[in-house]
Amino acid sequence: MRAPLFEQIHPEWQFELKVFKELIENIDAYLQDREITPSRDKIFRALINPIESTRVVIFGQDPYPTQGHANGLAFSVDNSISPLPASLRNIYKELQDDLGATRTNGDLGDWAEQGVMLINRILTTDVGKSLSHERLGWQEITESVASVLGKRNVIAVLWGNSAQQLRTHFSEHSIITSVHPSPLSAYRGFFGSKPFSQVNKKLSSRGFSKINW
């Protein structure tokens, strides 16, 4: 038997999001027998760790709609995916320009293991259809996640309009913002924004170790 969606998140997040339990159950019922991405067991991958382990949060918009691409972490894909999605390629280009770091595979699980939460505003979509689940209520849930993290002084990386809607939940000195890394906008201010070195500078000023990007 498949575990209910709500039970797949860390108990600390279950406590914080308990007011949304019925909504999550309704979404879970809606998703039954639909061809969705990411797979059901990865929908809440960003919320499987204790809250205190999160030092940085990067918000995306919604999952990659291509079958097999989304793996439950915003912007991330499994190592087997080639070529990488365009937004992720742009993220890596900026990482190279910012810190001289080179990445070739698309799985950002190592960032998550270091305390970087990678979470989309909308956690599911139908295969082949971007934003097809934008009216299910995911934004209410992920805005609550932002509120919880903001109260804990987590550094928020807000790329694009959808993510920037959450800036009121974070103190100004904890926010790093730019346009979205999508090819449609990256040249209007994402390239050259140096988000990775900015994050590490803020972490160091707070006595935390830097992220190995």
Asked, for residue 197, whether it belongs to a domain, the answer is yes
| 41, 8 contact by CB (below 8 A) | yes
Strands 56-60 and 116-120: parallel
CATH of the domain at 150: 3.40.470.10
Q: What is the model's pLDDT at position 2?
A: 75
Alpha-carbon distance of 160 to 77, in angstroms, equals 20
Q: Rounded to the nearest 5°, which phi and psi values hold at 186? A: -55, -35
**pLDDT at site 30:** 96
Domain with 78 in it: 5-205
The answer to whether residue 211 sits within a structural domain is no
Tokens at 69, concatenated: 């691409």
What's residue 42's pLDDT?
A: 96
Asked whether residue 93 is domain-assigned, the answer is yes
pTM of the model: 0.96
pLDDT of the chain, 213 residues: tens digit per residue: 578 999 999 999 999 999 999 999 999 999 999 999 999 999 999 999 999 999 999 999 999 999 999 999 999 999 999 999 999 999 999 999 999 999 989 999 999 999 999 999 999 999 999 999 999 999 999 999 999 999 999 999 999 999 999 999 999 999 999 999 999 899 999 999 999 999 999 999 999 999 999
How high is the pLDDT of residue 1?
57
Task: Please identify every residue annotated as catalytic.
Answer: 62
Domain count, the chain: 1
- Asked, for residue 14, whether it belongs to a domain, the answer is yes
Report residue 140: phi and psi, to 5°. Answer: -60, -40
Instruction: With beta carbons less than 8 A apart as the criterion, state whether 208 and 55 touch.
Output: yes
| 213 found inside a domain | no
Tell whether 144 is covered by a domain: yes
